């Protein structure tokens, strides 16, 4: 059974929770739309820790796109750049 290993709060006051199996959910285990079951736990945990570190800078509606950027990034700076590029392309 997975356990909570980290928590953060978004800019709009919503809770984000990281589970030991790599799942990233809202508070009480409610799935974040678009973030499914991780295939690679190590990659999911690395990406989720980057997201949690910056969660307070973003609204819950942006967490999915931040997580997707984090999965492709080597570090937090690259995650932020990828997120900004994604946001710019969808504006």
pLDDT in tens, 70-83: 999 999 999 999 99
Domain count within the chain: 1
**pLDDT band for position 86 (cuts 50, 70, 90):** confident
- Quote the pLDDT of residue 87: 78
Measure the CA angle with vertex 44, ends 60 and 32; round to 5°. 30
Dist. CA 67–CA 51, nearest whole Å: 6
Instruction: Quote the strand ranges of the chain, DSSP E.
Output: 4-9, 15-19, 24-26
Per the prediction, the chain carries an average pLDDT of 93
- Quote the pLDDT of residue 1: 85
- Quote the pLDDT of residue 88: 76
pTM: 0.91
For residue 85, the enclosing domain spans 4-89
pLDDT in tens, 31-59: 999 998 899 999 999 999 999 999 999 99
**What mean pLDDT do residues 62-69 have?**
96
């Amino acid at each position: 059974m997975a356990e909570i290993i980290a928590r953060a709060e978004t800019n709009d006051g919503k809770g984000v929770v990281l589970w030991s199996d790599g799942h990233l959910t809202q508070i009480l285990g409610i799935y974040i739309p678009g973030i499914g079951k991780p295939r690679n736990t190590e990659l999911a945990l690395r990406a989720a820790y980057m997201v949690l570190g910056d969660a307070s800078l973003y609204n819950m509606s942006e967490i999915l796109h931040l997580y997707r950027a984090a999965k492709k990034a080597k570090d937090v700076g690259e995650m932020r750049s990828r997120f900004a590029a994604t946001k710019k392309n969808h504006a």
